[in-house]
Amino acid sequence: MSAPLALAAAVMPRAHVGARDPDALAQLARGLGPGPFAAVILFVSPEADRAMVASGLETAFPGVTVIGCTTAGEISPEGYAEGEIVAVALPAAVFAVECLGIDLAALDGQELIGRLIRARAGLARKHGGWEDEFAFLMVDGMSIREDELTAALGPGLGPVPLFGGSAGDGTRFGATFVLQDGLFREGWAVLMMVRTACKVRVFSLNHLTPTNRRMVVTGADPARRVVHQINAEPAAQEYARLLGKDPGQLTTFTFAAHPVVVRIGGSHHVRAIQRMAPNGDLVFFSAIDEGLVLTLAEPLDMAAHLDEALRGLSDGVRPAILACDCILRRIAAEENQRFGAVSALLKAHGVVGFSTYGEQLNSMHVNQTMTGVAIYPPKVGS
């Protein structure tokens, strides 16, 4: 490991192991080192035995706050991974955390605002000399509640930047789980409020540029994120026509290569298509509604764009980077023969995290994006 990466790994220790290894948690604990840790985050392949992981947490990480989620692929210290558990630790010497569990079936915005304000105030009282803050969210990726959740979190977070990711289930889109208090739960989210002696920078990036090809959603079921009609035509048929393809040719790779974006607040944000239903409807990863104007987007070279963006985070020193990277970026990299190049860049820049079913940035749920936090080593004496 190079000296800059070693410094970043010391700020945010990381370890990884095969998800089916019966000694996985013990190996992860050894890989992270002795601590003490304010928190440990686990990104758990759906191949793992969740019950075994949950039951072994107290032995592997006694007295430590452990949170996590299932993934659509992992980002380990070696780059893109699959079938692994990746662990990330926040050392107690420079981090303090407060974790809030959120039952998505009983989401109460006002109650949540109060909990956020109290958590932030408590961290400030205990660590007033630490000036940097961020919030990290993991949420059930099959809940269809991410848009509502992020909107509810915004007022309580105030100026604290938030990023996060929706838990995954590989490419199956079956059931996704969030880990807190020794339990893997569906219909759950966990928000980790962090105060730190390190300088931090929350970021978002994607390699997509809008074209001049636009369409209007003319029939939709917003509650299920389903679009029935585009430009008053069957949704999949009209989307395919704009691409110059036959509807029968539409696949997950097509949707990853040709996403649509919406303009919000002067910026374009991806509204990614998850799949085509048998009846020709289009199912989206995030909020969609009638009257929404969608613009087709085209990709830049993902590897070149990622390298430039991550270099821009260096700021004279290599940060540790915790990231949530959309599964559609991984799929697009595979389809365009850029998977190896992107994976090598993630390793070279010290990125760890997971592939998601969607990402969160402040008060928005987004898609086909990488969101994350760059954490810079504290100055000597801080």
The mean per-residue pLDDT over the stretch 109-135 comes to: 93
Tell me the whole-structure pTM to 2 decimals: 0.92
Evaluate if residue 380 carries a pLDDT over 60: no
Distance, in Å, from the CA atom of 326 to the CA atom of 366, rounded to the nearest integer, reads 9
Pairing of strands 233-234, 226-230: antiparallel
pLDDT for the residue 314: 86
Report d(CA 153, CA 108) in Å as an integer. 10
CA distance 190 to 99: 7
Residue that is written with structure tokens 């948690």 in the block: 25
Q: What is the pLDDT of residues 179-192, one digit of tens each?
A: 999 999 999 999 99
Q: Which two tokens stand for residue 19?
A: 């998800």
Section 259-267 average pLDDT: 82
Q: What is the pLDDT of residue 2?
A: 67
What pLDDT, on a 0 to 100 scale, did the predictor assign at position 118? Answer: 94
Three-state SS for 301-365 is CHHHHHHHHHHCCCCCCCCEEEEEEEHHHHHHHHHCCCHHHHHHHHHHCCEEEEEECCEEECCEE
Phi, psi at 50, each rounded to 5° = -60, -40
Q: How far apart, in whole angstroms, are the C-alpha atoms of residue 182 and residue 240?
A: 45
Residues comprising the chain, all counted: 382
Q: In what order do the strands lie in the sheet with 183-185?
A: 14-18, 84-91, 37-44, 65-70, 178-180, 183-185
From residue 195, alpha-carbon distances to 123, 376, 380 in Å are 7, 13, 18
| Minimum mean pLDDT range among 142-146, 306-310, 320-324, 375-379 | 375-379
Type and span of the H or E element at 243: helix 235-243
Whether 12 shows a pLDDT value over 50: the answer reads yes
> Each residue of 355-367: pLDDT tens digit?
999 999 998 999 8
Backbone angles phi, psi at 18, to 5 degrees: -60, 135
Are 17 and 45 in contact, with CB atoms under 8 Å apart?
no
Task: Judge whether 167 and 141 are in contact, CB under 8 Å.
Answer: yes
Would you say residue 382 has pLDDT above 50? Answer: no
- b/e 175-212 (16+ beta carbons within 10 angstroms → b): ebbbbbeeebbebbbbbbbbbbbbbbbbbbbbbbeeee
pLDDT score at 381: 47
Question: How much is the pLDDT for 1?
Answer: 63
**Given pLDDT bands bounded at 50, 70 and 90, which one contains residue 174?**
very high
- What is the arithmetic mean of pLDDT over 275-297? 92
Angle subtended by helix axes 146-157 and 109-126, to nearest 10: 50
> Residue 285: what are its φ and ψ, rounded to 5°?
-85, -20
Burial class (CB in 10 A: 0-12, 13-18, 19+), 249: exposed
Low-confidence winner among 16-25, 166-175, 246-255 (lowest mean pLDDT) = 246-255
Phi, psi of 314 (to 5 degrees): -65, -45
In the prediction, which pLDDT does 271 show? Answer: 85
pLDDT at 119: 94
